[in-house]
Structure 1
Amino acid sequence: MNRINVLVLSSGRRVELVEQFKKAGKALGINCEIIAGDNSELAPALYYADKSIITPRIDEPNYISFLIEVSKKENISLIVPTIDTDLLLLAKNKEWIEKSAGVKVLISDYNVIDICRDKFNTHNFLLSNGFKVPKMYSEVEINDKVYPLFIKPKSGSSSINTFKVSSEKELKNYKPMIDEPIIQECLAGDEYTVDVFLDFESNVISIVPRLRIATRSGEISKGKIVKDQDIIRDVHSLMKTLKPIGHITVQLFKTKDGIKYIEINPRFGGGAPMSIQSGADSCEYLFKLLSGQELKYTEDYKNGMIFLRFDRSIALDENLNIYND
């Protein structure tokens, strides 16, 4: 079998994801290297990968040409983005990167990324295709009867500058803090993150709903795998309409009025290793696809698993080598 090297971009704190790729390669007997890239030499994931690479910042003009050159040098088969700010740039340059370096970029088509990265676009896409969303309010529609509301930035991520507002006073306080704010109804119900994997032709391979028990800084910290068929059917329909590829993270609420979608992140989410460890192994799926295998839809993952995430540290000496006492 040919060597399959994977480059995880903006790897930062994505230690779990790097480890899951390494575990998948070993389980499948793949000859591979998992390479972590980041613009900071202090990114923890760099020290858990088989190899690390310091990249330019995403906003530097040589970023794409650097990815092409490093893909050639390291014989990269797959480039995996992990943060929102990478997505539009990679989608725009996907064809050039793939043709120039003979590499696969795990990014959906530009029109899909454009829908997902702009929350107005996401809201309008969902609404126009018959999917339920929280009501969006203009300022003239807001009165005392509609509170509580939820305010968030148009293109934000990680729940930065997102607030529940319970009064006109709170709304006036929070609004100046947010660039291009969106004001929506505040949903009541169970909140889910849904990990979806689709092959390179947008065929759905797995759908894993995760109940969000607790979150921290916008990322799930405690979650439970819940094989909810209502959610699975609705998300399957959404994916057939949107047609992304790769690992997709969908945020939704299951309310008394049905399933309502909050956002769609067309990349690995921070909690993706929960679904991977339950048996819906996106890393194995990617290795199999790159090896020429055809995948079929499966729900062969363990229901009811609870995951509790926590921080851990890594010690480096003065030369940035891992310190082992």
Structure 2
Amino acid sequence: MALRILTEASGSLVSGYLIKAVKGANCIAVASDIDPDCYGRYLADEFIQMPLKSDSELWDKIIAALVEQKVDIVIPSFDEMVLGWSLRKDLLLEKGIQVIVSEPKVIEIFQDKWLTYHFFTKNGIPTPNTSLEQIYPLVKPRNGRGAKGVQIATQPVDMTGMISQEFIKGTEYTIDVFCDKFSNPIYIVPRKRMNIKEGKSTSGIVVYHEDIIHWVKKICERTSFIGPINIQCIETESRDLKFIEVNPRIAGGMALGFAATENWIKLMVDHFVYGKEIKPVQVKYGLKMMRYYNEIFTFE
């Protein structure tokens, strides 16, 4: 019987590849979103309407819906929900639902840019200088995603819940990483970000970068990631690397990481559900991705 896999935020412009990857793994794609008419509903096999995050019964409603729809696997992708999924991994597993995500202590570090900075400095990972005070020109939320709330501040700003960071000019890289159940990084796929819209990569190219791979291995050695994660860094003109953040979840631009290796959804099913050993394939360096708008047509 085909497994039923839930994907989040199915109205996101970059969520379509995940739904296709679920189907490509011969699983049933269960999309979800707060918008009952999001486009992902029509790409997927089935759909769950999610309650608002402010709903006092949020998780009770979500869990009830997962049980009713007989969901087998959840692959979190929505930043605001990742920690909640992680905290409920054991509860959901008791109900036969496997959540593929890192442990809460890992999520808490990397969803907070100030704690991430301390993790990097403590472990000798090169990173921009960062402060809770408005010392550096780049100001961003401690807990934020994409480019939302990020600014080059020329005037004093309210630093509540914010950090300031040394502005690093250079080439931006995103690294797609797949870690097995023992937290070993099986795939490390650096991709150069060529075009970015609202913090999301709309085109890029997979490159072999020995130094990036070296440092990503160091990051993975110092903590316990599970499944897909996403790391961002900048290479300066002098070829120094500065690691900016870690997203401990599957990411929108990972379509390129999948295409350069294999279907990571199938990989997760085979490894985390059926316990199969992973035999990585050769990364397709030089593979380029470009994105475009597509249409969904349906009757009212």
SS in 1 for 2:259: helix
Gaps of at least 5 residues in structure 1 are 26-31, 143-148, 319-325
Amino acid in structure 2 at the alignment position of 1:292? G
Alpha-carbon separation, structure 2, partners of 1:205 and 1:67: 32
Q: Distance in 2 between matches of 1:182 and 1:141?
A: 9
AA aligned opposite 1:282: W
User: How far apart in 1 are the matches of 2:36 and 2:260?
Assistant: 32
Considering only CA atoms, is the larger Rg found in Structure 1 or Structure 2? Answer: 1
- Give the match for residue 283 of structure 1: 265
For 1:181-192, what aligned pairs fall within 5 Å after superposition?
Answer: 181-192=162-173
> 1:267 and 2:262 equivalent?
no
CA RMSD of superposed structures (Å): 1.9
5+ long unaligned stretches in structure 2? none
Partner of 1:105: 99
Q: Aligned AA for 1:317?
A: F
Identity %: 28
Amino acid at match of 2:113: K
Q: Secondary structure at the match of 1:40?
A: coil
Deviation at 1:179, TM superposition (A): 5.1
Cα shift at 1:200: 2.3
Q: Compute the displacement of 1:60 (Å).
A: 1.9
> Matched residues in 2 for 1:308 and 1:86: separation?
28
- Secondary structure of the structure 1 residue equivalent to 2:202: strand
1:204/1:141 Cα in 2 relative to 1: closer, same or farther (>3 Å)? closer
Maintained 8 Å contact 1:207/1:299: no
- Match of residue 322 from structure 1: none
The range that moved more, 132-141 or 219-228, is 132-141
Query: Following the alignment from structure 2 to structure 1, what is the Cα–Cα distance between the partners of residues 53 and 160?
Result: 21
> Hey, what does 2:30 align to over in structure 1?
35
Is contact 2:205-2:289 (8 Å) kept? Answer: yes
Verify the 8 A CA contact 2:4 2:29 in the aligned structure 1: yes
Distance 1:140 1:282 in 2: 40
Residue aligning to 2:4: 5
Residues 192 and 131 of structure 1: CA distance in aligned 2, closer, same or farther (over 3 Å): same
1:250 Cα offset (Å):
0.5
Matches within 5 A, 1:75-224: 75-99=70-94, 101-137=95-131, 139=133, 141=135, 149-165=137-153, 170-172=154-156, 175-176=157-158, 180-224=161-205
Q: 1:171 to 1:41 in 2, by over 3 A?
A: same
Distance apart, 1:262 and its partner CA: 0.7
How high is the TM-score relative to the length of structure 2? 0.92
CA distance in 1, matches of 2:277, 2:61: 32
**Contact 2:134/2:164, CA 8 A, preserved across alignment:** no
- Please tell me whether the aligned partners of residues 202 and 290 of structure 2 are also in contact (alpha carbons under 8 angstroms): yes
| Cα contact 2:22–2:28 (8 A) shared by 1 | no
Among candidates 210, 216, 223, match of residue 229 of structure 1: 210
Q: Which amino acid aligns with 1:258?
A: D
TM score, norm. by length of structure 1: 0.85
Q: Map of 1:43-54 to 2, 5 A cutoff?
A: 43-54=38-49
8 Å contact 1:98–1:104 — kept in the other structure? yes
